[in-house]
Chain A
Amino acid sequence: MSSGLSRRWALFAALVLVGARALGASASGPVPAGVILVKGAWSSAAGTATPLPEEGAVSNGQYGNAYFGLEYAFGADWTQRYEGPPPSEGGYYVLAQIEPRNAAQSFGQSHVLIAAQDLFFTLNPARDALELIHYYQEHLGAEYRVQRPPTKVRVANRDFVRFDYFSPAAGLQWHMLATEIRCHVVLFTFTGSDAQITRRLIDSMGAMPQAPRGAPVCIKDYVSAETITEREDPVLSAPHFNPVPVRIIIDAQGKVKQIHFLSAFPDQAKSIADALSQWQFKPLIVGGQPAEVETGLMFGRPPRPSASALH
């Protein structure tokens, strides 16, 4: 292991230890209001600093996300008032929540939810965007009416699955656009009663570029006896009984380059990170060249079998 990488692991270990406690170790004085200081299972990362799904940001009328390679310019009249929660243990992310800057426009107000579902850890049986949207449709309550069944469309020079439905009682419409990026389904949901505003918001997706260049190849269940040559199992001392979904990026030399805990207690993250830093994989060969690969692992307890099957 290089000395630079060793330092990153050491830094991560220190951060994890501190993370078990409250933020702002040296802070004194009154407890700040409106700050979550005591956290349960939460997201964190170790290893080489590369973008994470939850690190996108809203600024100056646009949402940018380096992990997904997204740049969505919705306009200066829109903003994010409230950030989303941390990723769920089922791999669901609230990436951004966009609403009109003028909060006085409340009745019939449109808003946009940008979310992502990690296909490695989803609680439902979907394997791609189309199956996920079909799953949504099948679980749509009787209070909704389908306007447009799941349909493959081309928007912003990208393949999407579109699904539209509405609530007669509420007078609200939901327009979903789902696309696959790095083994996630990224979901844009436009909600509101004003079809023109919604159409304009969808049209403004036209500036959206493709997925980031140089992103690792994503492969589900890549970790197996055929791909791994050295492994050290983590020692999880305290039974929390929670699933710990972990995404890892394996570099071209077969070492674990980055670990992303979607949801883990600090002691779990430290034990798993300590173990994964010692894993060695056979390099993945793509087009005759070694390549980086991104995959998922579930610690804590085995992945739950889905209680229902698709179709």
Chain B
Amino acid sequence: MSKLLALALVLLCPAALVFPGIALSQSDPGVRPGPINGQNGATQGSPLPLPSVNSNNPAGILDFFDNGLGRFQEEESVSSGDDKGLGPRFNFNSCSGCHAQPAVGGSSPANNPQFQAITQGIASGSTNTLPSFITAHGPTLEARFPFFMNSNGTPNRNAPNGGVEAIFTVSGRADAGSCNLQQPDFRHAQQSNNIIFRIPTPVFGAGLIENIDDSTLLANQEAQAANNFGVGGAFNRNGNDGTIARFGWKAQNKSLLLFSGEAYNVEMGITSELFAQERPLPEEEQGSGLPANCLNLGGRGYPEDATNINVAANSDQAAQNAQVPADSVLFAEFMRLLAPPAPSTHVPGGQQSISNGFALFKAVGCSTCHTPAIKSTQPSNITASLGNATVRAFSDFEIHHMGSGLADNVSQGAAGGDQFRSAPLWGLGQRIFFLHDGRTTNLMTAITAHRSNGSEATQVAENFTSLSRGQQQDVLNFLRSL
């Protein structure tokens, strides 16, 4: 028996090398090893800025990037120290805790920091319970209830909710005074299937996305309308001026500044010049809001994050300038100036496999929504690298119907419960969790989840499954090269 097995291995292994199409099975190669974001010099704590920022053009901009990077990593407290304002409800106490993989600014890390929130005293165990969906090695999560609850605790399907239900409260912390809030009833929400999740979107290269003119996106939409894969698509438009919004899982945020201000408010409970009021839970907002003893816990009034008017004089003028903006402004600037991930030409699977995979990716129709390159950004008044650049984000920034299998029944702006932005794929090779809720770490699962009733991507997923295993492996290798 062992001789037969050995013979089979001897015969099959070389054949699989010569004829990839008869490889035994296709599989996700996993997180790509090698330089972080494909960039030499990048580390987990120090992702690289855009080239022109790295060369400090214009003078002083590197200080803004570095200062923003620092603030992105600050751990906020409720009322002590310089970095205060956390809560009264929050999902975590820093941006970089969740935007961490493969570097600061990325997505969910392998070890979920929320799992340690109580043991590390970020949330008090006397008043907080770790929900069952927060696991040690699962994704960092934001929870939402699609529907408000009836008085008897059942979901009221006539009352769409969709707002964020922050996981932790500051209650019980030594620096939280007498504020006494309960966590949302996650257990009941799970029992009634009235809960959905979101993972952090990575923000590398986000400034390039922000700097695409609407006309460029509209022209791309028209060109892609001649697809033969059943794909439609629409844009999520800003409710005030009608222009194309582009950030967030449903493209619900117009700009990086709005994105950072909302996240500061929703994920960490910190008010800013963009969102100047504490945010109650959606259910609390329907009632009387937050109790008075949970307001102004930081003790310095609102907004908790504001422009720093009185910055100490510094002989380094650029460093002094970078201290002036509010956190939310510098978060946005940091994200805006982050370099996009660089793809690998040969890892995993070798150059030929990656090249084949890219050709197949286009042939079967993935590129209809995951547009490989959008040319070009508008001229930039911020830094040279943001202007007249090709955006290799692998997204059309449209929202598409993704069907009943991925629908989360949350509406944001013009996006309905089954519509999602084509997730930019740059940097995919070093991501751990996939899809809006991080439900899988396996690219094959993520791809096949694209087909379900009502999905625009069913035909493309069917085309993918029509490929041989070797061809599918090439596509997986290509995706992990990004």
Contact surface of A with B, Cβ cutoff 8 Å: 21-25, 27-42, 82-90, 92, 94, 97, 99, 106-109, 111, 113, 115, 122-124, 135-136, 138-139, 141, 143-144, 167, 169-172, 174, 176, 187, 189, 191-193, 239-242, 263, 304, 306-308
Contact = CB atoms under 8 A, between A and B. Distances in A.
B411 A139 contact: no
Interface string B362-385: 111001000000000000000000
B232 to A, nearest CB: 3
A239 B413 CA distance: 11
21 contacts: A22-B160, A30-B191, A31-B193, A36-B407, A36-B409, A36-B418, A40-B415, A40-B419, A42-B416, A82-B452, A84-B230, A85-B401, A90-B232, A92-B225, A139-B226, A143-B363, A169-B356, A169-B359, A169-B471, A170-B364, A170-B471
B469 interface: yes
A39 B471 CA distance: 36
A167 B192 CA distance: 47
A24 B465 CA distance: 35
Interface in B450-467: 451-456, 458-459, 462-463, 465-467
Contact of B157 (A27, A92, A174, A187): A27
Contacts of A41: 234, 414, 416
Interface stretch (B11-19, B72-80, B215-223, B318-326): B215-223
B404 A30 contact: no
Given A38-B146, A107-B467, A193-B466, A31 B415 contact: no
Nearest to B226: A139
B467 A36 contact: no
Given A24-B157, A41-B414, A240-B414, A85 B454 contact: yes
B465 A136 contact: no
Given A31-B146, A136-B228, A111 B471 contact: no
Nearest to B242: A241
B468 interface: yes
B204 interface: no
Contacts of A144: 363
Contacts of A87: 232
Contacts of A174: 228
B187 to A, nearest CB: 13
Interface stretch (B44-52, B112-120, B147-155, B259-267): B147-155
A25 B400 CA distance: 26
Nearest to A107: B468
A107 B150 CA distance: 49
A307 B411 CA distance: 30
B158 A113 contact: no
Contact of B458 (A84, A167, A242): A84
Given A22-B158, A31-B192, A240-B414, A84 B468 contact: no
A33 B403 CA distance: 12
Contacts of A167: 359, 363-364
Contact of B234 (A89, A141, A170, A176): A89
A30 B222 contact: no
B411 to A, nearest CB: 5
Interface of A is mostly: loop
A170 B363 contact: yes
Contacts of A24: 157
Contacts of B455: 82, 85
B409 A92 contact: no
A130 to B, nearest CB: 14
A109 B228 contact: no
Nearest to A167: B363
B232 A92 contact: yes
Contacts of B89: none
Given A82-B455, A88-B232, A90-B232, A123 B222 contact: yes
A193 B221 CA distance: 29
Contacts of B367: 141
Contacts of B232: 85, 87-90, 92
A302 to B, nearest CB: 12
B155 A30 contact: yes
A135 B227 CA distance: 10
Given A41-B414, A82-B455, A242 B234 contact: yes
A291 to B, nearest CB: 32
Contacts of B364: 167, 170, 172
Contacts of A99: 462
A40 B379 CA distance: 34
A191 B466 contact: yes
B409 A31 contact: yes
What 7 A-B pairs come out closest when comparing CB atoms?
A40-B416, A88-B232, A38-B417, A241-B242, A167-B363, A22-B157, A85-B401
B465 A37 contact: no
Contact of A141 (B191, B362, B468): B362
B452 A307 contact: no
Contacts of A171: 468, 471
A170 B238 CA distance: 39
A111 B459 contact: yes
A164 to B, nearest CB: 12
Contacts of B416: 36, 38-42
Contacts of B414: 40-41, 240-242
A33 to B, nearest CB: 6
B363 A31 contact: no
A136 B362 contact: no
B155 A31 contact: yes
Given A31-B155, A40-B417, A187-B228, 20 more contacts: A27-B157, A29-B192, A30-B192, A31-B409, A36-B454, A38-B146, A82-B454, A82-B455, A83-B453, A83-B454, A85-B232, A124-B222, A169-B359, A170-B360, A170-B466, A171-B471, A192-B466, A240-B237, A241-B414, A304-B218
A93 to B, nearest CB: 9
A220 to B, nearest CB: 18
Contacts of B242: 239, 241
B466 A113 contact: no
A68 B397 CA distance: 33
Given A92-B232, A106-B466, A124-B225, A37 B158 contact: no
A57 to B, nearest CB: 13
Contacts of A27: 157
A301 to B, nearest CB: 8
Nearest to B162: A38
B140 interface: no
Residue from B192, B239, B453 whose CB has the most chain A CB atoms within 10 Å: B453
B222 A308 contact: yes
Contacts of A189: 228
Contacts of A40: 411, 414-417, 419
Residue from A42, A82, A139 whose CB has the most chain B CB atoms within 10 Å: A82
Nearest to A169: B359
B468 to A, nearest CB: 5
